[in-house]
Structure formats: C-alpha cells, structure tokens
Amino acid sequence: MGRGGAPARSGRRVRALSAPVRIGTCSWADETLTKVWYPSSVRTSEARLEHYAARFDTVELNASYYALPSPDAAAAWARRTPPGFVFHVKAFGMMTRHPVKPEQLPPDLRGEAETDARGRIERPSRELRAEVFTRFRAALEPLREAGKLGGILMQFPTYVTRKQASLEYLEWAKERLGGDEMMVEFRHRSWLEPEHADATLSFLRSLGATYVMVDAPRTQARNLVPTVVAATSDTAYLRLHGRNASTWNVRGRSAAERFDYLYSPEELSEWSTPLRELSSLSERTYAMFNNNGRTAGPEGPIAQAPTNAEMLREILKGAGVAVTDSPRSAPA
C-alpha cells in the first residue's frame, strides 16, 4: 500500500451497494470560514452551523481539542442540524497525550496535577486522564441520543512513536471510550513506514479502531506519515490537510498558514478510485478537508476547505462514485 495506490482488500468482501461518500470540513467555525465563507448576514454561531448543515451533512468538531465540551452545547448542536447529520469530535488534548494548561480543565480538576516550567500539565496521573475521558464522553450524550455522534478523533502528536508503550496506551484509550468509535490519526512516520504499516493496521483492526488516512505534503519529514490507503473498521476516514510543504514545519505559523493549500481538480481526482473502492468495502466513508486557509480569487478570497469539499463532491459524481448530495439540494 502506498500514496496514491489502490486500497488493499485484506480479504474484505465488496458490498453489493457502495455506501455513499460523505464530505465535510474539519470545523464549521474557524477564522477563514467566519470571515470569508459565511455570508455577512450569517453572524451568530447558531446561524453558522445551520448554514453549514444546509450544504454538508458531516463535520468535525475542533473546539473540543482545546476544552471539554458541555452537554448543553452538544444538545444545541443536535437541535440545529437536520436528521442524519454526523459530528465527528476531536478528542481533548490530554486524551491524546498533548500537554494542556490547567485553565483548559474544569475548575474542580485544575489542582489535580503538577505543571512544568511552562505552566503545562504534561504528565497527568492515569486517574486524572481517566476522569477526563469520562467527562468528555458524558458531555456528548445529547449527540449520541440523537444518532448524530460519529467517531472520536484521536489525533496523536508527533512524539507518540510506534513502540510498546504507545500500543498499550491505545488499548487503554479504547477501553475508556466505551462503545464510541475511536478514530486514530498518527503524526509520526514510524507507524506507517513500509516495514510497520501492515502491523499497525492489523493492530488497529484487532482493537476495533478506525484508521485515519491523511493527504498531506509529500516529503520525508518525520511528522508526515505516508498516505496509506486502507480501512481497519466499518468506517473509511480520510483527512485532507493540503500539500503545502513550505509551511508545514515553519515554527510560529498559525494553523491557517500551515494548512494553506487549495487542491487542484487533478489532485482531488487522484482520490476517485481509492474512495470508490473504500466505499464498496466499508459501511461508512468520509472525506474531511482540513486545509483552512484562503486563496485569492477573481471575486475575492476563497475559503479552501469548503471550496475543495464541493469540488470533490462533483469530481466523485462525475467519476460515478456514490456520494451524498448537498442537503439543500435534496428533495423535500
């Protein structure tokens, strides 16, 4: 398996009917969207989510990485989206072994761990981390009850390399998530280099976890994993980060600068064949755009993620790949 190659079948049987590919973006509230994509009349967070959900039927919640979500917020998200809409929720930083600051935790947990010289909780106790998992899951109950909770995106930092301790942590985290789907995105090459890729995918498969494919700059940097096309569960999940190698590892850059990239139709067409096969092998297939910068256009700035999402939808349709349509264009 490799970048741009067809997905390995791994003994999985092709479904009689392909599950349509669902396409969305990795946030509905980042700065580029609020300043460029939403009409000027769409100003509140409530109106923005409703506007987004009229155009796409799935999204990633990114704010949950920075702070634990609240049940009230989750209930509001469920109310403001139509039936069948799916939220994938990014795990809180402590859950994926990122350092966090005490103020990112609920007030009653802020004194539970020591901080380092930079004021961060870098090595929380297992008990504190487990409590965070428990509260995170509890907050998502309104989405779960509404049938709108997709997977929990566990995006691991670059320093989580492929070793026994990391495998054991993944097993522990999967247990903490109970029946929720754990989606795993690696950020260190050791997991998916040719000599380890099959073993990594087999491990995720045995764990019942979903492997997250990435489309990113094509360099040999250690914090850029190869694009291995595969699925380890009933969900096939692709995140497209853009291919801007010049900004990926520049210190001090914002996320919008790091992921500043507008895919061309030719680049997106590379995914037609892999997504067709993945959708025939999987119960659910998602393609999520994380290129959250803006590109100059003839009529003003273009928001890259939603523009490319809509572009991929049309490319897949043209290639005969089943894809969900824009909710606003569906018959009443």
Q: Band of the pLDDT at 4, cuts 50, 70, 90? A: very low
3-class SS string, 63-127: HHHCCCCCHHHHHHHHHCCCCCCEEEEECCHHHHCCCECHHHCCHHHCCCCCCCCCCCECCCCHH
pLDDT of residue 7: 39
Cα first-last separation, the chain: 42
Average pLDDT over residues 224-229: 93
Nearest-angstrom CA–CA distance, 48 and 325: 19
Task: Copy the structure tokens of residue 69.
Answer: 């979500």
Tell me: the pLDDT tens digits for 253-287? 666 677 889 999 999 999 999 999 999 999 999 99
Residue 149 has pLDDT above 70, yes or no: yes
Cβ atoms within 10 Å, residue 248: 21
Tell me: the pLDDT tens digits for 111-121? 888 999 999 99
Q: Band of the pLDDT at 95, cuts 50, 70, 90? A: very high
Question: 205, exposed or middle or buried, with CB in 10 Å at 0-12, 13-18, 19+?
Answer: middle
**1 versus 46: which is more confidently predicted?**
46
Residue 173 · residue 134 · CB < 8 Å:
no
Tell me: the pLDDT tens digits for 54-66? 999 999 999 999 9
Q: Band of the pLDDT at 3, cuts 50, 70, 90? A: very low
pLDDT of residue 46: 94
Q: What average pLDDT does the structure give for the chain? A: 91
Lowest mean pLDDT segment, chosen from 28-32, 250-254, 257-261 = 250-254
Nearest-angstrom CA–CA distance, 146 and 169: 30
Residue 5 has pLDDT above 50, yes or no: no
Nearest-angstrom CA–CA distance, 235 and 238: 10
CA distances from 172 to 21, 53, 129 (A): 31, 34, 11
Answer yes or no: pTM beyond 0.85: yes
Residue 189 has pLDDT above 50, yes or no: yes
Task: Copy the structure tokens of residue 117.
Answer: 């010289």
pLDDT of residue 329: 63
* Topology adopted by domain 21-329: TIM Barrel (3.20.20)
Q: DSSP assignment, residue 159?
A: T
Percent residues over pLDDT 70 in the chain: 92
Dihedral-angle region of residue 97 (phi above 0 means left; psi in -120 to 50 means alpha; beta otherwise)? left
